[in-house]
Structure 1
Amino acid sequence: MGVPRQAGWRLTTASLQDRDGAFRITAALRETFSTITLAWADAGYTGRFVRDARKIWDLAVAIVKRPDQTKGSVLLHRRWVVERSFAWLTKFRRLVRDYDTLPAAREAVIWTVATWQLSNRPTR
């Protein structure tokens, strides 16, 4: 999913391992949003990334793990936020199919859909 280019973000290739890409994204995140102190990640990011995030960027990374004894589908802490957001985005057919050939076009559609969804959400 794309994010603003002016914020220093970059798309990565599909051949780049997620843990390696996380270093690039986290560096750009800290440049733009210096007040963030906590990030959640799944078990694939344990180890070096967690240590380096704390040491280099002073960022705590909380690993959300699946309980060892569970079988089947389980609700994991904080993961539902991401899954719910993806579900909301896929209500729009344009985001379900790959019609776009340029990443910038796909990013523009995601921003449009997210803006539309937030503007139609009732305020508290």
Structure 2
Amino acid sequence: HGRKRHILTDTDGRLLAVEVHAADVQDRDGAKGVLRRFRRAFPFVEHVFADGGYAGRLVDWARSRTHIVLEIVRRCPTAAGFVVLKRRWVVERSFAWIMKCRRLVRDYAQLTAVAEALITIAATATLLRRWP
């Protein structure tokens, strides 16, 4: 059973929202759930940066349903090879930090709620280690 993990972090990489769902769900569709959760927890945030995989109708959906401006971070069309994308690397780094938790290397959890809880625990442990 494949899973996809969607996380929202602040600009320092601290976890703000997480959603886990089946791998057969498109990224744009899976992001709706995490954006709804994020909006409920942080009603004052108006701007979110996202990967190019979240482009398209999701941008309009986010603006109309959650009142969040979803800015897609795009790669420069003239760039060749590997390019570090501003803002996007923060989420990738956060995934790397939480993947240091042995339980998250493989998806052992039967329920998505358990997988989400394990990600939250790993992010909390990372937070306690990294920030005073």
Pick the TM interval, shorter chain.
0.7 to 0.9
Q: 1:122 to 1:26 in 2, by over 3 A?
A: closer
- TM-score normalised according to structure 1 size: 0.75
Q: 1:56 aligns with which of 65, 87, 92?
A: 65
Gaps of 5+ in 2: 8-17
Could you tell me which of 86, 106, 126 is aligned with 1:77?
86
Higher relative contact order (CA 8 A, sep 6+): 2
> Do 1:64 and 1:77's aligned partners in 2 also have CA atoms closer than 8 Å?
yes
Alignment of 1:24 onto 2:37 = no
Cα–Cα, structure 1 residues 114 and 32, in superposed 2: closer, same or farther, change >3 Å? closer
Q: Greater strand share, 1 or 2? A: 2
Change (3 A) 1:29 1:38: same
Instruction: Say what the alpha-carbon RMSD is for the aligned residues.
Output: 2.5
Which residue of the partner structure matches residue 6 of structure 1?
A: none
Provide the TM-score with structure 2 as the length reference. 0.72
Aligned counterparts of 1:92 and 1:59: Cα–Cα separation in 2:
31
Equivalenced residues, count = 118
Which entry has the higher C-alpha Rg, 1 or 2? 1
CA 1:69 to 1:36, structure 2 compared with 1: closer, same or farther past 3 Å? same
Question: Could you tell me the percent identity over the aligned residues?
Answer: 44
Q: What is the CA–CA distance in structure 2 between the aligned matches of 1:100 and 1:61, rounded to whole Å?
A: 31
